[in-house]
Amino acid sequence: MAAQSTGCAPVVRAFAAGARRVEPWVDPHTVAFGINIPAPLGDELMLDALYATGGTAVAVDDREILAELRAIARAEGLVLCPEGATCLAAVRRLVGDGWLTGTEEVVVVNTGTGLKYPEAVAAALAGGDD
């Protein structure tokens, strides 16, 4: 599964179109700086893997990303990076849409810390009660 922000989702757009390569995303923007990549290197490899495995690609907006940051901070005391929160939001979306049943074992790798993103963390924690 590929997860991107709606503010920069060239892989999601290419996957939905059945394309072999991505078209560069114009005016990319997201709180998840590490995935703000308008034309990722190896795009054809990513798309090939998604097609070959029956995978999918999903984009979530910054509001959903920040909500996941907030939820995990409250529930687990962990300050995730926005990229990891993007993956969690994508999994939640796929369960909600029925693509995942909720019984699968899903691994979400969070390789960074929210401490490198003080603005995103502050926005997430100020975001209200979800």
Domain holding 9: CATH number? Answer: 3.40.50.1100
Higher-pLDDT residue of 4 and 118 is 4
Task: Compute the distance between CA of residue 32 and CA of residue 7 in angstroms, rounded to an integer.
Answer: 9
Give the pair of three-digit tokens for residue 5: 């922000």
For the segment 30-41, what is each residue's pLDDT rounded down to a tens digit? 999 999 999 999
Q: Please report, as a single letter, which amino acid is at residue 127.
A: G
Q: What stretches of 9-111 show up as alpha helix (H) in DSSP?
A: 10-17, 43-53, 62-76, 82-97
Q: Which domain covers residue 22, as residue numbers?
A: 2-125
Q: How far apart are CA 65 and CA 113, in angstroms?
A: 14
Q: How many domains does the chain have?
A: 1
Per residue in 72-91, pLDDT tens?
Answer: 988 998 888 899 999 999 99
Q: Specify the pLDDT at position 128.
A: 56
Note whether residue 130 is domain-resident: no
